[in-house]
Amino acid sequence: MQNITFHVKGMSCGRCVNSIESALMKLGVTAVTVNLSGGRVQVIYDEHSLTADRIRDTLVEQGYEVA
């Protein structure tokens, strides 16, 4: 398992949190923790079935800027 944290801009409310959690869980990640005030999304995933780039792309597809 891999643990990665993304710095995400554009999250502003609970709906953003739900949107991110839902999109990433559909990818098959193990866990998602969204820190709205800190602008961070922490993801635990199986590196054999998913890549960090795919997770990042999903966040961008949801309309967020990922650093």
14-63 confidence digits (pLDDT tens): 999 999 999 999 999 999 999 999 999 999 999 999 999 999 999 999 99
15-28 confidence digits (pLDDT tens): 999 999 999 999 99
Domain boundaries, the chain: 2-66
Task: pLDDT band for 2, please (50, 70, 90 cuts).
Answer: very high
Q: Can you give the pLDDT at residue 67?
A: 86
Locate 43 and state its tokens. 């993801």
Q: Can you give the pLDDT at residue 34?
A: 97
2-66: CATH, from 3.30.70.100, 3.90.700.10, 3.30.70.890, 3.30.70.1520: 3.30.70.100
pTM of the model: 0.92
